[in-house]
A and B are shown apart, each in its own frame.
Chain A
Amino acid sequence: MLAATIDAPTRTRPVLEVENLKAYYQMNYFGVSREVRAVDDVTLTINRNEIYGIAGESSSGKSTLIKTIAGAITPPLRVVSGSVKFDFGGSQLDVYARPKAMKAARWRHLSYIMQGSMNVLNPVRKVRHAFDDFAFRHMGLSPAQFRSRVEGHLKRLGLDPRVLESYPHQLSGGMRQRLTIALATVCEPEFIIADEPTTALDVLVQQDVLALIKDVQQRLGSSVVFVTHDMTVHAAIADRIGIVYAGRLVEEGPTDDAFARPQHPYTAHLISSLPRLGDVSRRKALPGKPPNLSDPPSGCRFHPRCPLAIDRCKVENPPLVSRATGRVACWRAGEVEVA
């Protein structure tokens, strides 16, 4: 097992360090230029052997944040400033300083379970080819050894190795999602990005898939960044959670603390909108929509929708400051009550 080869000191260093990352969409279309600040000054670290949840409404910039971390950006999205550094078993990898090294590390150290995983397998080729294309070159095995390694991996994950000879359209959505999890973990990478992996699945299959991800993560000791808008999923799986609003990280902390004592009013809103057993009162909807990122509000970007907003919130952007267990960016942090 790969995790065993990593010596003790490097184990304690974080696997990912993101510093002051800014990534904007810069467009010029028929004479109109626009700049969308989809990732705006994000700093975060992710430790070994943890599941880090990224939460936020759709179009909050959380998907762009993930793409930027994975080094998978294409114009018009550009990294304006900041850095993304991985540490895989002692070797530092700066994503935007050395893109070549990044390409070599893909799937070996960093793999991906994608949003809409239903369509991530090539529809005209057998599933087997996906494993050959993604993983074979990293393993240093003969084709026969590789084949038996893949089959063994599938069996451990509770999948019938015969699916390798199927085409994607012959498999159910849940089966395909489990296959992509197998595909993402076959090289035993240190870092796995899971972008809305359960969104398109029905609830029962969702449970299975979550359990599978958690199980593989614990076995490999990998770190998982888990992105979803679904707070119940975060509650079930994440060790720590980061809340993204309008391209900014507004709160971060251990999942239990964040759910029990949210510091940011937006976090409180996300949590209070969850249904709870035995609670029949109506949920209060938050007025307004997430802001247009090409023309965000001044000061704290949440202030137009915030029930606690004061004048200061409209002019001054609150910095992300450390609290007892996490970090929060709010002038009135701590005054929040969960409805």
Chain B
Amino acid sequence: MDGFAKYLVRRFFQFILVVFLGVSLTFLITNLSPVDPVEQTVSLMTNFGATDPRSVELMREALAELYGLQGSFLDQYLSFWGRVVRGDFGPSLSSFPTPVMSLIMGALPWTIGLLTLAVVITWILGNLLGALAGYFRSNLMLKLAGATVMALHPVPAYILGLVLLLIFGYAWPVLPISGGAQMNLQPSLTFDYIRSLILHGTLPAMTLVLAGIGGWFISMRSLVSNIVTDDHVVYAELGGVSSSKIFSQYVARNALLPQVTGLALSLGSVFGGAVITEFLFNYPGMGRLLVQGIYRGDYSLVLGVTTMSIIAVAIAVFVIDLIYPLIDPRVRLG
């Protein structure tokens, strides 16, 4: 087997392992917790009145079946996998009788759209600035830009989002601060709807970009300042190759390789930032769905969103792993 095939097999194995461990972990957390979800839901339901002991008993059984909590530990584990594979997490209790899966399918495109856009902008901008700052070390403008993004870097997404919300929502109200698009517009390919989509997405995307850009900037700058002392760069300088060519083809291109790997590794935590940002801007994606599910005690919904988030992130990581050989001939050609 040549190096490239080996690489693909390894990456695929890693993908399967992430899904397997993630789903198993989700099952374990829910199963080993001291709190019984059936009792929890029952107490939530009985708060609204229905206290007849017989109907409570019936409710218990129905819930246990609904949550797949009948039979031995192994039975429950296998039935959980069955649900994941079928994509059937049962109906959502808080939006009964809508199936959890259709809630997820409604939310997923929003999160994918927001995250893809934000991650691509963040990654390109952060790496470009970082590479320039690492190569042209004495440029004042770049130093200033670097100081700004680095100062924003440690601040958590929620705080950045809140500040943006205060600025563009209250102090200078130019951007919508809630929702994914204007409520009275039907989803369509019209100018109005697309404009509304973009306007609503601006603040959440800006939050994610500002929160993420510093990390790429810092790592790219240090990568570049190490690569400029590499033999092939020094040699090109001795060869009188123009500095724009050295920067793009000798320095940046090599420094990008670890950053693509880094992108795959960062997606898990980027998703965490999306949860809080969506909640803050009431953006109709997976994060808001998850937080709502927790507030409303909707067991199936929380379980479904967590599982699907893990799988979605794993797929995204795998896609990046598949793209990597295209830019690194050493992996592609073994």
Least Cβ distance of B133 to chain A in Å?
18
A133 lies within 8 A of B236 (CB): yes
- How far apart are the CA atoms of A170 and B235 in the complex, in Å? 20
- Residue numbers of B with Cβ under 8 A of A are 230-232, 234-241, 245, 249-250, 253-254, 257, 327-330, 333
B241 lies within 8 A of A133 (CB): yes
Please choose the segment from A5-13, A101-109, A151-159, A302-310 that sits at the chain B interface, where 4 or more of its residues have CB less than 8 A away.
A101-109
Contact with B along A174-213 (1 / 0, CB 8 A): 0000000000000000000000000000000000000000
A44 interface residue (CB < 8 Å to B): no
- How far apart are the CA atoms of A28 and B240 in the complex, in Å? 30
- How far apart are the CA atoms of A106 and B237 in the complex, in Å? 9
B231 lies within 8 A of A119 (CB): yes
The tally of residues in A whose CB lies under 8 Å from a CB in B reads 26
Can you list 14 A-B pairs with a CB-CB distance of less than 8 A?
A103-B240, A106-B240, A107-B239, A112-B238, A114-B231, A117-B231, A122-B232, A123-B232, A124-B253, A124-B328, A129-B249, A133-B236, A133-B245, A167-B329
List of 9 A-B pairs having minimum Cβ-Cβ separation, nearest first? A106-B240, A120-B235, A119-B231, A134-B239, A167-B329, A112-B238, A120-B231, A133-B241, A122-B232
> Looking at the complex, which one of A103, A112, A123 makes contact with B235 (CB distance below 8 Å)?
A112
Least Cβ distance of B241 to chain A in Å?
5
Given contacts A124-B254, A124-B327, A133-B239, contact A114 B249 (CB under 8 A): no
A255 interface residue (CB < 8 Å to B): no
Given contacts A104-B240, A133-B239, contact A122 B330 (CB under 8 A): no
- How far apart are the CA atoms of A105 and B239 in the complex, in Å? 9
- How far apart are the CA atoms of A120 and B249 in the complex, in Å? 14
- Residues of B contacting A112 in the complex (Cβ-Cβ under 8 angstroms): 235, 238-239
Contact with B along A122-151 (1 / 0, CB 8 A): 111100010001100000000000000000
Residue of A nearest to B330 (CB): A169
Least Cβ distance of B259 to chain A in Å?
13
Given contacts A114-B234, A121-B232, A169-B329, contact A107 B249 (CB under 8 A): no
A116 interface residue (CB < 8 Å to B): yes
B238 lies within 8 A of A106 (CB): yes
Contact with B along A43-81 (1 / 0, CB 8 A): 000000000000000000000000000101000000000
- Residues of B contacting A217 in the complex (Cβ-Cβ under 8 angstroms): none
Given contacts A107-B239, A114-B234, A134-B241, contact A122 B254 (CB under 8 A): yes
> Looking at the complex, which one of A116, A124, A134 makes contact with B329 (CB distance below 8 Å)?
A124
Least Cβ distance of A23 to chain B in Å?
17
- Residues of B contacting A170 in the complex (Cβ-Cβ under 8 angstroms): 333
- Residues of A contacting B239 in the complex (Cβ-Cβ under 8 angstroms): 106-107, 111-112, 133-134
- How far apart are the CA atoms of A125 and B251 in the complex, in Å? 12
Least Cβ distance of A314 to chain B in Å?
39
Query: Which of B231, B238, B257, B330 has the most A CB atoms < 10 Å from its CB?
Result: B238
- Residues of A contacting B327 in the complex (Cβ-Cβ under 8 angstroms): 124
Count: A-B pairs, CB below 8 Å: 68
- Residues of B contacting A105 in the complex (Cβ-Cβ under 8 angstroms): 240
Residue of A nearest to B246 (CB): A133
Given contacts A72-B238, A107-B240, contact A123 B231 (CB under 8 A): no
Residue of B nearest to A70 (CB): B238
B254 lies within 8 A of A123 (CB): yes
- Residues of B contacting A167 in the complex (Cβ-Cβ under 8 angstroms): 329-330, 333
- How far apart are the CA atoms of A72 and B241 in the complex, in Å? 13
Seed contacts A112-B239, A114-B235, A119-B230; 11 additional CB < 8 Å A-B pairs: A103-B240, A119-B231, A121-B235, A122-B232, A122-B236, A122-B250, A123-B329, A129-B249, A133-B236, A133-B249, A169-B330
Residue of A nearest to B251 (CB): A122
Least Cβ distance of A86 to chain B in Å?
14
- How far apart are the CA atoms of A95 and B290 in the complex, in Å? 67
- Residues of A contacting B257 in the complex (Cβ-Cβ under 8 angstroms): 124
Least Cβ distance of A128 to chain B in Å?
13
- How far apart are the CA atoms of A169 and B257 in the complex, in Å? 16
- How far apart are the CA atoms of A122 and B245 in the complex, in Å? 12
- Residues of B contacting A129 in the complex (Cβ-Cβ under 8 angstroms): 249
Least Cβ distance of A317 to chain B in Å?
33
- Residues of B contacting A134 in the complex (Cβ-Cβ under 8 angstroms): 236, 239-241
Query: Which of B236, B237, B240, B253 has the most A CB atoms < 10 Å from its CB?
Result: B240
- Residues of B contacting A119 in the complex (Cβ-Cβ under 8 angstroms): 230-232
- How far apart are the CA atoms of A169 and B330 in the complex, in Å? 7
Least Cβ distance of A132 to chain B in Å?
10
Query: Which of A106, A118, A122, A134 has the most B CB atoms < 10 Å from its CB?
Result: A122
Least Cβ distance of A125 to chain B in Å?
7
- How far apart are the CA atoms of A125 and B254 in the complex, in Å? 10
- Residues of B contacting A133 in the complex (Cβ-Cβ under 8 angstroms): 236, 239, 241, 245, 249
Least Cβ distance of A338 to chain B in Å?
37
Given contacts A114-B231, A167-B333, A169-B330, contact A122 B238 (CB under 8 A): no
- How far apart are the CA atoms of A114 and B234 in the complex, in Å? 9
A116 lies within 8 A of B236 (CB): no
- Residues of B contacting A122 in the complex (Cβ-Cβ under 8 angstroms): 232, 236, 249-250, 253-254
